[in-house]
Amino acid sequence: MTHAKRRRRVLIVEDEPALRLSYQRAFGPRYDLVFASTGAEALEQLELQPPDVAVLDMRLPDTDGIELLRRIRVTQPDLPVIITTAYMSIEPQLKVLNLPHSGYIVKPFRLDELGARIDAVL
């Protein structure tokens, strides 16, 4: 008898509804998706249902992604976090702040690129 493989849980922190819908369409069949549109919601979701990986937008209405990543690292130091950003200059900032992450991807990007990144860390 074979057991069904557990679907991986992906927390997507993104405040743009159109992007959340695109992520749902692209990744819903592959992963259990949990969405947060603010940093506060993301922290709440992390406590309620810890994900296997987080996809974190750097620009949020209530906080910036750097601060949120810092808070995530306090409670979940080993959680893979993939950063999405419109700014190519984010990497030096993350290095200076010594904030480990599992890579970043610059907007606009193709959904299959993000899917490959998620699969690579799961």
Domains of the chain: 9-121 (3.40.50.2300)
Picking from 69, 63, 62, 75, the residue whose alpha carbon sits closest to that of residue 104 is 69
21-80 confidence digits (pLDDT tens): 999 999 999 999 999 999 999 999 999 989 999 999 988 999 988 899 999 999 999 999
> How many angstroms separate the Cα of 88 from the Cα of each of 4, 7, 30, 43, 117?
40, 32, 28, 25, 17
Examine the pLDDT at 103 and tell me if it is beyond 70: yes
On whether the CB atoms of residues 72 and 44 are closer than 8 A, the answer is: no
In this prediction the pTM is 0.89
